[in-house]
Structure 1
Amino acid sequence: MSILLLLQTRDRVTAQEVARLLEVSVRTVYRDMESLSAAGIPVYGEPGHEGGYRLLGGFRTRLNGLTADEADSLFLTGLPGAAADLGLGAVVAATQLKVMSALPDELRDRAGRLAARFHLDSESWYSEHDSAPHLSAVANAVWHERRLHLRYLRWEQPQVVTRTLDPLGLVLKAGQWYLVAAVDGRVRTYRISRIIDLRVLDETACCPADFELTGYWREYLESFDRRRLRQAATLRMSPLVFDRMPEYFDPAVVQAARESAGAPDAHGWREITLPIESVDRAVPDVLRLGAGAEVLAPNELRERIAEHAGAMGRIYRA
């Protein structure tokens, strides 16, 4: 079955490739190809450097009557929340039933046990569900490659802007949906919950020939951290706070702080450089560290922390 699936998804495959992918010997592949042929599967081999095995006449097996929508939804079968957001909850459920019914009894039991013991919850802790009433319309435009005209609420001024864009893909990040789209030749990212209203146009969307969603999103996250963390603060940290930094800061901040850390002093305290967005945003973050950290620079941040600490001291002394 694994060989048959490989042949169906590739135009041609060599015995060496099959052996490597399935971790068997080439001799075993030759034997299995003969078994497929004997079972009536129209597989044949082409000799030579450019040769290999292929299926005759576009032969395909049909997995228990999957519809086009069900086939499209296969990648969402492990994400019930995401499927429901996209309006595909019922489709995914039907897909799972058909796939399960096509499995042999032993594999069906294993899959059932796995589903009963593992659950994926993609939303982050202590955050409200990101309401995105326009998600279904955006998803429909993405599926059918239709341009969008929308009004969007952004952080910068002017806050409300109008955009006509070419949707390229959807991303679910920590329970929040994002639209990746091309605008005036540039690829941009939009948080779908901040779309005020939209209209799907009867125009075909244009996708850059070299665009790849996963690669773009990885680069976007890296550039987002660089743009967000433009300032830095110098702190002294106790051993306990230094070890527990992942509980207080995101991975990019923790990595930069640890790379900058000096040697511990006689009491184990270290001097580190902490990337920050701004002094205002850094105040609550540093206050969470309590007496396990001391701000050395910038002076504005040190004074702000001192003011808050003094005010808290006066409250508790009273």
Structure 2
Amino acid sequence: MARNEQLIRQHKILQLLEMARFGRTLDEIRDDLVQDLGLSSLHERTVRRDLEALMAAGFDIQDEVLQRGKVYKLGRTERGVHKITATATELIALSIGRDLLFPLAGTQYWKGIESFWNKIQEEMPDGVWDHYQRFRRSVHVMGGPTKSYDKQEGMLRTINRAIAEHRILEIDYESVGRPITTRMIEPYGLAVYQSSLYVVAAAAEVTDPEQRMRHWKLDRFHKATALDEWFKPDPEVDVSKHLKNSIGIFSGDSPTPVTIRLGKRAAAWVREDPWHPEQQLEKQSDDCFLLTVPTSHPREVLPKVLALGADAEVVGPDSIRSAVAEVIEKLAKAYCKPAGASDQAGD
């Protein structure tokens, strides 16, 4: 039996015991393993050896004779030794979650994650930790490129203080392709989106309640100062609800529904990887589907539509359709020329 198969089987045993309040007999464990792992057969001796190996590794597995026979169950894993305890599923989940949070490297949040993770590692018996290290190598977390916010650590502390104390922030902010400007913002919270941190804040000079809330990318901050000026938070602002209104990170309390005609292949992609929790995908025919999704800015939907190629067409509204058409026109013009050619003669 391959080592990886043994680890998977032992991990499954721990999951089964976690779910069994009154324990499981050897036969019950064996039958559940066969069913859950899709095995053709499994000998009782193999299950008993797995249980003995787990106990030798430091897991608190106890046995007890009941009316229905001898049962195995997880006991209290502290035994006065562990200050921190974790079940099999919890330890694996924490490990995967830590990998997913790598974009927070350089922030006080990451330091907290690492501190907690190190405490777990220090308190777990070597056998338990080694067991999960071996099993963890079979699970790989993929995602976008990671970054570090080491340079913004001081600014982030200032921002967090301003959020907690409702203080106005003076920031030097550089939007892409624009010069640095000094702005006054009223911070409400932080958001993590595709490996980047954003400050959810109201632009102090904007009075329209539907236009005030903006998302300011921390990468573009050059300076942040918490002023001795305070703002009164708008009781109507619910940051969680506000962030759910859009496909991506663009802000907007009144998103616009966009309708997109999809082919069968594109519809399958969107069904597998939804763009928004409130999207609606309706079948018109075997080869035609209509997707309706809320968006706060054309740049939210544009790259997603273009990624689907000719299998996606924006039906409306006209503003979004025109924005997509304009990009397609520029792309067509660029690709009609030889590679590297310029619009201006002599360049």
Q: TM-score, normalised by structure 2?
A: 0.45
